[in-house]
Structure 1
C-alpha cells in the first residue's frame, strides 16, 4: 500500500500558442521528471481529479462531483481521444465508500473528459489507457459552486477508500492556479451561447470544435499583448501562497471563500479544487512531504503554471 500524488497545471494552449522555447523546455523537463517518478512508482491504479470546460458536463445536469465508471476523451486541442481503462468495479466501490462517508457524489457510465484530464494522463503516464484509471470530475467552471472544503473532504473520503485497496495508487490533479480565460457565464451569455452551456455544446462537429479552439487561441494572444482588459491578470503571489497551504497547512484551505478565490486568482482559479482533493486523499495516509517542482506565471498559456508532488512522510 502506497500513494504518490502528482499535481500539475494544464493548458489547452500548449503547442498552439507557446511562450519562448526556453520556457517550453523548462516545462518539458519538469514533465519528464514527473513521468520518470511515475514510471519508477509503477502504479497499480490511477485516480485523476480534473475539471471540465463544458465539453463533458453541462448545465442540463451539473453535479459538483462525479466518478467515471466508464469514460472516454473528447480529444480537444489535440489531446488523446478514446476510452480510458476504467476498472468499473473499483469505481463503483469507490462511489459506495465515499457516499457512506456522507459525501454525495454522482456516477457516470459514459463520462466524457477533455484536456483537463487527458493532458495530464498523456504527459504523466503516457496515455488514457496505460494504467487502470478512475476519473473524478470536480465542477470548477459552472456556478453555483460549493465551498472548497467539500473538495478536501471528497479527497479525504477517496483516500480512505484507496488506503483499503492495498494497491500502489497514483493520484493526479490537473488544474490551473490563477487564470481567467474567456469562459462564458450562463447568467450573461447570449441565447445561443447559453444553449451550448446547457447541453448544445455536447459532441461538437470538427468544424465547430476548431472554431471554438481558435477563439481561445486568439484570446490568449490578445491577453499576452495586453489587449484583453476583461481577462484578469495572473497572480503569482496568490499562486505561491496557495501552494504553501498545501505543503504546510492543508486545513487552512477550508477558510478560502469562493468570491475571494475569483477576485484574487480569477474565475477559473476554482480549478485549485482538484489540487485540494488530491492532497485530501493524501492526508488520509497520514503526514506527508510535498515539494513544489516548478512555478512560473505564463501569460501565453493564460495560467499560473505549477507542478508539485507529494508522498507520505518517511
Structure 2
C-alpha cells in the first residue's frame, strides 16, 4: 500500500449560511462523507494541509508567500472548528529546512492563526481539527503581489521529496476554491479604515467579525440573483484545471500566470495554488493516479466547487496532456 494519499477540496464559509437547493447540499455532503471514509481507512500518521487565508491570520504588516506553522490555532470564523491544532512541530521545522535547502523561501510561524480555509478541510476530511498530527502550510492567495504557480509547485515538490523519505502514512490536503470571487477587499484603492484592517486586522471584535460575515452572505445572495459585479464562475476553466491535475502533468500549471488566473477564474481563483502545491508534493514522490470526484458551479457559495483524490504509484507513468494546458489559457 502506498504511504501517500491526497485529498483536494473546495471550501466555503457559506455552508449553513446561504445554501443551494437541498439536493445539491446533499450531494456535496455525500462526496465529503466518501472522502472522510477514505481518510479513515488510510488512517494517516501525519496530515499536511496546504491552505490560503482570507485576512484572518496573515496581513500586510508582513505578508509571506508561504509559511509553515510550528504552532497553530484555528480562529473559528463562520462557525468553523476552533482551537489549537496538534502540530507536529519537529516535522514542521524539518520541512521548512528542506524547503529552504531547495532554494524556495518559506517563513515559519510559532503563532499561526488559520481560518475556515484550513480548518474546514481538516474538519470535513478527518472529522475534526485535532484527530491527527498536522503541519499547516499557508499559501498567499489573496494579497498581491503573489508568488507564481510554479513557485507553489516547487514548494510542494521540496516538501514531497522530504516526505518520500519518511516512514509514515502521510495525507496531503489542498484546500481552496477554483473559479470564485467573494468580496475580499484589496489594499489598492482602499480607504484608511479598510487598509488598516488589511495591514493589522488580527483578533477583531465579535461585532466586526459578524459584520464581515453578514457582508459575505449579502454578496452571495446578490451574486445568485445576478445582481453582482463579482467575477462569474467559469466551469470550463475549472474542469480544465481539474483535468490537468488528473493527467499527472502538474508541472504544466507553471504556465498559469497571475493575470490569466484572475481573468479566467476571478480574484480568489488564486487559491488553486493550494491544489498545485499538494499535487506537486505528491508528484515528487513518483507517478500518481487521480480521480475527479465532484464538480459543480454553486453560485450560492460563490464557488466553482470541486474535489479530487489521488495516490502515489510506484511503477507507472502518468500521461501528459498538453492540450488541457492550452484550454486553461496559459500565457
Shift of 1:214: 0.5
Aligned to 1:190: 191
In structure 1, C-alpha distance between the alignment counterparts of 2:146 and 2:63, rounded to whole Å: 10
Give the equivalent residue in structure 1 for 2:154.
153
Q: How does 1:46-61 map to 2 (within 5 A)?
A: 46-61=47-62
2:322 is aligned to: none
Structure 1 stretches lacking a partner, 5+ long: none
In the superposition, the TM-score normalised over structure 2's length comes to 0.93
Q: CA deviation at 1:161?
A: 1.0
Aligned partners of 1:158, 1:176: CA distance in 2, in Å? 22
What is residue 232 of structure 1 aligned with on the other side?
Answer: 231
For the residue of structure 2 that corresponds to 1:66, the secondary structure is strand
Residues 113-161 of structure 1: per-residue CA shift (max 9 Å, x gap): 0000000011000111110000000000000012110000000101111
1:164 corresponds to: 165
1:22 is matched with 23
Q: Where does residue 245 of structure 1 map in the other structure?
A: 244
Q: CA deviation at 1:313?
A: 2.7
Residue 70 in structure 1 maps to residue 84 in structure 2: no
Which residue number corresponds to residue 296 of structure 1?
Answer: 296
Q: Distance in 2 between matches of 1:2 and 1:256?
A: 30
TM-superposed deviation, 1:245: 1.1
Which residue number corresponds to residue 203 of structure 1? Answer: 203
Counterpart check, 1:310 vs 2:310: yes
Aligned equivalent of 1:44: 45
1:101 shift after superposition: 1.0
In 1: Cα distance, 2:147 partner to 2:29 partner: 34
1:218 and 2:189 aligned? no
Q: CA RMSD in A?
A: 0.8
The Cα shift of 1:193 comes to 0.3
Structure 2 gap ranges (5+): 315-331
Matches within 5 A, 1:109-188: 109-188=110-189
Alpha-carbon distance in 1 for matches of 2:5, 2:189: 41
Hey, what's the Cα distance between the residues in 1 that align with 2:266 and 2:287? 31
Query: Which region of structure 1 is more displaced relative to structure 2, 298-307 or 204-213?
Result: 204-213
**How far apart, CA to CA, are the structure 2 residues paired with 1:126 and 1:62?**
30
Structure 2: distance between partners of 1:129 and 1:206: 24
Looking at structure 2, the residues matched to 285 and 91 of structure 1 have their Cα atoms a distance apart, in angstroms, of 18
Query: Following TM superposition, by how much is the alpha carbon of 1:218 offset from its aligned partner in structure 2, in angstroms?
Result: 0.4
Counterpart-to-counterpart distance in 2, 1:24 and 1:123: 14
d(CA) in 2 for partners of 1:223, 1:118: 25
For residues 147 and 106 of structure 2, the distance between their equivalents in structure 1, rounded to whole angstroms, comes to 13
Deviation per residue, 1:188-246 (Å, 9 max, x gap): 111100000001x2101111111110100000000000111x20100000000001111
SS of the equivalent of 2:164 reads helix
| 1:96-115 alignment runs, 5 A limit | 96-115=97-116
1:288 is displaced (CA, Å) by 0.6
Aligned residues: 312
Matches of 1:198 and 1:186, distance apart in 2:
9
Paired with 1:313 and 1:71, the residues of 2 have a C-alpha distance of 32
1:220-278 alpha-carbon deviations (Å, 9 max, x no partner): 000000111x2010000000000111111211101111101000000100000000000
Distance 1:80 1:125 in 2: 12
Q: Secondary structure in 1 aligned to 2:165?
A: helix
- Which residue is 2:266 aligned to? 266
Distance in 2 between residues matched to 1:250 and 1:171, nearest whole Å: 15
Report what 2:277 is aligned to.
277
Classify the secondary structure of the residue corresponding to 1:7: strand
Provide the C-alpha distance between the structure 1 equivalents of 2:148 and 2:293, rounded to a whole number of angstroms: 28
Partner of 1:80 in structure 2?
81
